[in-house]
Amino acid sequence: MAKSEFDIIKQYFAHQQQQRDDVVLAIGDDCALVNVPANYHVAISTDSLVAGTHFLVDADPAFVAYKALASNISDLAAMGATPTWVSLALTLPIIDEAWLAPFCHSFFELANRYNIQLIGGDTTKGPLSITLTVQGLVPQGQALTRSGAQVGDDIYVTGNLGDSAAGLALILNNQSQCEPSLAAALVERHFKAQPRVNVGEALRGIASAALDISDGVIADVKHIGERSQVAIDIDVEKLPLSAELLAFCEGDRQQAQQLALTSGEEYELCFMASKANRDALEMALAHTNVKYSCIGEVTAGRGLSLLQLGKPLNWKLSGWDHFGITNN
């Protein structure tokens, strides 16, 4: 007997997760109800992934779930928020349990890792797409916005940049000349980039502005420049490059730097902090075990400038659209 939509919701979405104490009513009623602690803001972000636009139609459902949820968690991290709840609007062409089972396994594995509870959603028939609304909590007045960067602030990024783009190039081009363990490491960086929630939380009260890198650092950091009405100088020699990326580029440093500037879906954070906060920053991030690097400085004016050891560079680069798949 064919299963109804309700059976599927019950089977796959209602019972696979830890329950949070602040959820009063979750899946099953007309709305979910949650408790919000006094003196906190709720941070809310929505993202849609559409098959054929944001992922390949035959992509591994476990990857699709990871990407959908990780990119949303990364938005909360960039705001300095602690993830709490998520809603899932799922549009499926057919009820395919061979697709749903790995999708849910991957979704709940990541949700549980960050103590996020699925509190509701919608399930409809149509071309495959996934829309998530994530919510998180941030103490009032401490959210990391894009508008607070000040002239003279240092510009930082977490982790390394460029690995995700190299991983994607390997997936799409199947470059068999690349050494297998190197290729595996870079592909893993593309599929399993880690949202930096603990860094976002630690940056509360220290960073003047922040965002997560989803379209490539030069495309994303421009948003901070515009919202904060400042100019951005990035020195390409300061970009954090992994040994794997340099090996992938066969030692071509310029190619590695260009990948680092344009690589999307890194989920690394780019943030600004005043020079007076350098010690506070070091102390706050020490316990996160996430490395961070200063890549430039906020200056007076408008626009983005690339420098190499202080001298202007005129590379023509765009955001992450090199491989024909957009992640906007």
Give the residues lining the site for ligand ADP (CB under 6 A).
9, 13, 27-30, 88, 90, 118, 120-123
Strand partners, 154: 273, 297
| DSSP SS3 for 225 | helix
> How far is residue 236's CA from residue 59's CA, in Å, rounded to a whole number?
34
Measured distance CA(167)–CA(275) in Å, rounded = 34
- Residue whose CB is less far from Mg ion, 122 or 250: 122
Is residue 5 near Mg ion by the rule CB under 5 A? Answer: no
**In the structure encoding, which two tokens stand for residue 45, read together?**
């972000």
Query: At what angle are helices 180-191 and 163-173 packed, to 10 degrees?
Result: 110
Judged by CB under 5 A, the chain residues 103 through 142 that form the site for Mg ion are 122
> What's at 119, amino acid-wise?
I
One-character DSSP codes across 17-32: SPPPTTEEE-BTBSS-
Query: By three-state DSSP, how is residue 281 classified?
Result: helix
From the list Mg ion, ligand ADP, none, pick the one residue 193 interacts with, judged by a Cβ distance below 5 to 8 Å according to partner type.
none
- Between CA 326 and CA 41 the distance in angstroms is 31
Complex with ligand ADP: residue 93 or 301, whichever CB lies closer = 93
Which has the closest alpha carbon to 81: 143, 132, 21, 23? 143
Name which of 107 and 156 has its Cβ closer to ligand ADP. Answer: 107
| Residue (124 or 229) nearer to ligand ADP, CB | 124
Among ligand ADP, Mg ion, none, partner that 120 touches (CB below 5 to 8 angstroms by kind): ligand ADP
**Contact of residue 28 among Mg ion, ligand ADP, none (CB under 5-8 Å per partner type):** ligand ADP
Distance of closest approach, residue 8 Cβ to Mg ion, in angstroms: 13
Judged by beta carbon distances under 5 to 8 A according to partner kind, the member of ligand ADP, Mg ion, none in contact with residue 248 is none
Residue number with the shortest CB distance to Mg ion?
122
Residue 282 binds to Mg ion (criterion: CB under 5 A): no
Cβ proximity to ligand ADP: between 48 and 254 the closer is 48
Residues within the interface to Mg ion (CB under 5 A): 122
